[in-house]
Amino acid sequence: MALQIHQLCRPVPSPSSSSSSSIGSLPSCFTKQSVVGGDIHRFSTMMMVNKKNGNRKGLSSSVKVRSSLETAGPTVVVGQVTEVCKDTFWPLVNAAGDKTVVLDMYTQWCGPCKVIAPKFQELSEKYLDVVFLKLDCNQDNKVLAKELGLKVVPTFKILKDSKIVKEVTGAKFNNLVDAIDEVRCS
């Protein structure tokens, strides 16, 4: 039985808006919005859809965070890994503020990168206070990879306050978990 994951994200009227025409009839669990520290937080419901019979099942809630400074810019979904490129990496890191950011630097052809990718996704679902990013170190992102000091793949860079504070090279899952815990607690 194959399952697909769909995210339901509906537009949310501003708190000052008296009109609730677009989502007035939706249950409150589908979409909520709040403003915290200048950031807009959108809560949406994830649904699993069975490809075979089309049945839907609620999966989990996720939080879509968009910086108020970059309302048209990139977004991060908490509980998921966000793919970045040379143009979106620094804006997302800066928007994370004082949150811990973990960057998985990988390539498409790297075997160990493919092995650790599902475990990295599991970490993003476990640590909801951490931003998880992935950077494909291909030709397009070569300048950023060099700027970040990439020597081998996979390499995990852990950032705090937009600065690299830890690095884990290789597909060493336990070392990665230890490094994330250390930075989160500091």
**pLDDT for residue 73:** 61
In a domain, 71, yes or no: no
**pLDDT for residue 30:** 33
In a domain, 133, yes or no: yes
In a domain, 85, yes or no: yes
Check whether 71 has a pLDDT greater than 90.
Answer: no
The two three-digit tokens of residue 60, written as one number:
């989990």
57 shares its domain with 123: no
Residue of 85, 110, 137, 185 marked catalytic: 110
The answer to whether residues 76 and 93 touch, using CB atoms and an 8 Å cutoff, is: no
Q: What do you get for the CA distance between the two ends of the chain, in Å?
A: 43
Residue 113 known to be catalytic: yes
State the residue range of the domain holding 143.
79-186
For residue 68, give the nearest of 43, 37, 99 by alpha carbon. 37
Tally of structural domains, the chain? 2
99 shares its domain with 170: yes
54 shares its domain with 124: no
95 shares its domain with 150: yes
**How far apart are alpha carbons 69 and 33 in whole angstroms?**
17
Map tokens 């509906």 to a residue: 10
In a domain, 129, yes or no: yes
124 shares its domain with 180: yes
Neighbours of 27 (CB within 10 A): 8
55 shares its domain with 101: no
Q: What is the arithmetic mean of pLDDT over 142-157?
A: 97
121 shares its domain with 164: yes
Instruction: Dump pLDDT digits (tens) for 86-111.
Output: 999 999 999 999 999 999 999 999 99
Instruction: Dump pLDDT digits (tens) for 52-69.
Output: 555 544 444 444 444 434
**3-state DSSP assignment of residue 95:** helix
The two three-digit tokens of residue 89, written as one number:
């990496």
Q: What percent of the chain has pLDDT over 90?
A: 58
Least confident interval from 45-49, 64-68, 74-78, 134-138: 45-49
Neighbours of 16 (CB within 10 A): 5
84 shares its domain with 159: yes
**pLDDT for residue 75:** 82
> CATH no. for residue 100?
3.40.30.10
109 shares its domain with 178: yes
In a domain, 2, yes or no: yes
139 shares its domain with 111: yes
28 shares its domain with 109: no
34 shares its domain with 123: no
In a domain, 72, yes or no: no
For residue 169, give the nearest of 121, 125, 110, 123 by alpha carbon. 110
State the chain's mean pLDDT as an integer.
Answer: 74
Check whether 14 has a pLDDT greater than 90.
Answer: no
Residue of 9, 113, 137, 185 marked catalytic: 113
